[in-house]
Structure 1
């Protein structure tokens, strides 16, 4: 039977009571949920908070921005490709490959002695999260529709329990033990999830079930679009990272890769939409704005701001308040608790609250409002910093998981992998671009303000002009925790040096003010997109999309179970 509505089965195949959760389903959701922890928490959250300290350990200050950017770029590229491949080859093999990459990337990063090797490990960890993000689709389709939010909240709970003390633990590791510990833990998580997934997770081997072999479907993939997408993204990010650092923003070295990269990215989509037999970016998904593509726009924007804040949060505390790693960690706790509440608790109630589009729009409104209010943070209002930190970081997990839930209910099952993968891709790419964009705004504004304010303060105190450049360097070093620099200026009274430090902190605060004010227009666009999303609440039923082919204690599923799955897939195929 063909369904005109991609998920009409959710309405017609709706038992009075939800199916009893089997041991295999429960364990599959458990291990899939742990797959994301290694590459996200220890490959991104932990390392992003100690970038400054890492450069003092292994050097490479000018390249350290490639740690978050390389991770995000790799995650963005692999997410969309892995999602489509999981629709062809099944979720299991893609997940196992991603979990293996977590182990391999963790080993490369843990043994790094140079910044370039560390970046290589981070790129592998980013690629691993692109592959294991298939878990969002895998968990969604084995649970009753109305419990998909709970299943996805489990993935976020695994992240949030580490996100709460992430800054504190990372700073303690880098100062009192070794920063390599976080990568050893990532290796452990990758090994644990790989072994568990291999033992219990056996979804259908050919999710699309459209009469073609896997090899036939693989040959029909749009490899040209994949090549153009990867090449365009790498070139564009290179130009973005070079602007204001390696080259001025208006120089040929910056503008050429930016324009060339963006043009190549657009060419990838244009080719895929018009020429490809089996597109990696299905046009019917992109043209369905309310049903799907609005989610891509809003998650891209929300990620731009969130990932930039994740990288800048610890720097805000460092530059405005204290270089003490313990204090930095304690002052960052509200951010972690925000991710716990917003990512692991609220999404579990999405099927009870319903009106998902309003939930998404309200979460985006909160993020926009409180990141805008972060412009009021100064070196003298620590309490405001901690309050805004919680309220601004809180909505992102809520918005993100609601996007995954909405896509899983609004999109035909045959394209669930690519739909989920594209959301992950736009999330990662948005995070990569946002990290570079907002960090660049902060660094360039702050650098001018700090130098100017120190110079003015020193000049008023009668310090000779020839001493001011060295004094600026000493003040900046003191703020980031280098001891004894004030002693190198015996002719500068301690009170004057202290005034220069205070002036520098206010210079950094001004840089942050401009940074967060510049995020507001993006947030407004995201809120509008959230209001446009087609609400999937009517699909929160007891329907289960697929059944595992093997059950612990029962062996393989019956032939009839397999026929039912194939009939559903073929019915959806015919209607899509």
Structure 2
């Protein structure tokens, strides 16, 4: 790229006019411009292009959670309707694999050639994938539609970056809060909406996909009409498209894609599909880890003109520190994502609507956490202490879930809500800082790398939790049910029938056990619940180790107040202005919008 390589950190003079190009000339003192002082600037911020772009990005963000998170919550219903199929788990796995790999690729390539067509094409894929899934008459068709949606997800998950780079740096926390608030209906209450669709006989699970068809379609229209960030010719002043294509890091693309796919595949299979000691799990993890290591060595030592992942980013202390905090902090939170729905159905309720509403506490808490941090971050300062404090609280609230049993409905709701708030604050701070402290032309690579690392660490966390839970649950149930049944007077030779009845899951099966009466049945049920409680307890207490890593990494984050200035990374332009600079004084920009 011939675009000037310059970091926001090199131009931290808060007297620089908003949306000005960060050059030596523009760094000279001038009248303070907060983006609202000049009539032309006000026109730009209120223009159809700018507001339409924001609306398109917000719809894109909602499309991500509608098209994936909502159907995943009702997979058993989908399987019962158009299955059964042993491949139903691939709906979840393929999305994680494909979108996780695409994140860095989309982020980096859109840095180089422009973002417009990446985002439009992604939403078209989301639209088509949802249509296929909505009309599916087999689980394999749903998987096919999900694969298309997964490619779209690689772009959709970059939605925080798309908003942040369009606003002045000092408003990035507010933009992150705003975009998160806009997805509250889907990230917060998507589970409840999905289950409400299922409960409505006139709608059903297919409406999870039909809703995404509507949202993706609106996003495509607004992106096409309004979203004109700097294009290839505005970013590349000297190179032609063919020259730029020749310089792309194809070796890095192969190593990164192959390594990440194998890693995610291995850890996903280790969640229960195959034994951890099997070649199906060990081989992908080992080969994937080697390929990822080779990828980083390749990025370091090869003379690449357009590296897929600029290693210089990892040398930025703030960037590396917040990536660790964000990824490891999320690993703590994943215990709730995995176990909270099971806790609800095991201990609290079997009502479909109540399950959906209770499952929404973590997502709603996360959205609220991102919103509340925006007004106070700069005022409080010391991001290291802020991140450490919230990481401590996240670890404490998650670990306290070890106390939850069938008598703890209120406590469990409070703990999951507050844990969600904590992870929302941590997520907001780390996402914004990871984009603030890198050179403007590398924000896509930085956000793509950060988000893909979260996919990897999240998959690893789920694998660990599933393994611990799966290993300990039968041990605890065997121990606690046996003790409860013996103490209540059940004959020893009836125990095999008791465990068979518990597997069946019906009260009639338990009543049919020889020697069973109401007192023994109550004792057996309590013993079974105690076994679940103990298994949950072990998993939640295991999150303390991850929380400790996040807390330690927090102290390596340095002050970022100098970055919270008036600089705008990208501005929306009117088609036909390709020859203009990427960022210009606000007055000139709005004359052209």
- 1:521 aligned residue (519, 529, 545): 545
TM-score, length-scaled by structure 2: 0.85
- 1:164 aligned residue (188, 209, 213): 188
* Partner residue in 2 for 1:100: 124
Query: Within 5 Å, which residues of 2 pair with 1:4-15?
Result: 6-11=8-13, 13-14=16-17
Question: Counterparts of 1:388 and 1:426 in 2: how far apart (Å)?
Answer: 27
1:427 aligned onto 2:427: no
SS of 1:231 mapped into structure 2: helix
* Partner residue in 1 for 2:314: 286
Q: Contact conserved, 2:271 with 2:462, CA < 8 A, in 1?
A: no
Question: Counterparts of 2:247 and 2:208 in 1: how far apart (Å)?
Answer: 41
Q: Return closer, same or farther for 1:169/1:497 CA change in 2, 3 Å cut-off.
A: farther
Q: Return closer, same or farther for 1:113/1:563 CA change in 2, 3 Å cut-off.
A: closer
1:235 aligned onto 2:262: yes
Q: 1:420 Cα deviation (Å)?
A: 1.4
Q: Return closer, same or farther for 1:10/1:302 CA change in 2, 3 Å cut-off.
A: same
Question: Counterparts of 2:119 and 2:510 in 1: how far apart (Å)?
Answer: 54
- 1:309 aligned residue (329, 336, 341): 336
- 2:422 aligned residue (388, 395, 400): 395
Query: Within 5 Å, which residues of 2 pair with 1:221-370?
Result: 221-243=248-270, 245-275=272-302, 277=304, 278-288=306-316, 290-347=317-374, 349-370=376-397
**Gap regions ≥5 residues in structure 1:** 566-576
**Could you report, residue by residue, the CA deviation over 1:194-219 in whole angstroms, capped at 9, with x for unpaired residues?**
11111111111036436323432232
**Could you report, residue by residue, the CA deviation over 1:112-165 in whole angstroms, capped at 9, with x for unpaired residues?**
444444344334333322112343333222212111222222221122223333
- 2:401 aligned residue (374, 390, 407): 374
Question: Counterparts of 2:100 and 2:274 in 1: how far apart (Å)?
Answer: 25
Query: Within 5 Å, which residues of 2 pair with 1:93-172?
Result: 93-172=117-196
Q: 1:55 Cα deviation (Å)?
A: 4.7
Q: 1:81 Cα deviation (Å)?
A: 0.3
* Partner residue in 1 for 2:27: none
* Partner residue in 2 for 1:571: none
Of 489-498 and 439-448, deviating more is 489-498
* Partner residue in 2 for 1:200: 226
* Partner residue in 2 for 1:16: 32
TM-score, length-scaled by structure 1: 0.88
Question: Counterparts of 1:3 and 1:226 in 2: how far apart (Å)?
Answer: 23
**Gap regions ≥5 residues in structure 2:** 18-30, 36-41, 586-593
Aligned length: 556
Query: Within 5 Å, which residues of 2 pair with 1:411-450?
Result: 411-450=438-477
Q: Contact conserved, 1:69 with 1:432, CA < 8 A, in 2?
A: no
1:495 aligned onto 2:519: yes
Q: 1:221 Cα deviation (Å)?
A: 2.0
Q: Contact conserved, 1:221 with 1:279, CA < 8 A, in 2?
A: yes
* Partner residue in 2 for 1:569: none
Please tell me the root mean square deviation across aligned C-alpha atoms, in Å.
2.9
Q: 1:260 Cα deviation (Å)?
A: 1.9
Q: Contact conserved, 1:69 with 1:435, CA < 8 A, in 2?
A: no
Question: Counterparts of 1:357 and 1:441 in 2: how far apart (Å)?
Answer: 32
Question: Counterparts of 2:334 and 2:94 in 1: how far apart (Å)?
Answer: 13
Q: 1:369 Cα deviation (Å)?
A: 1.7
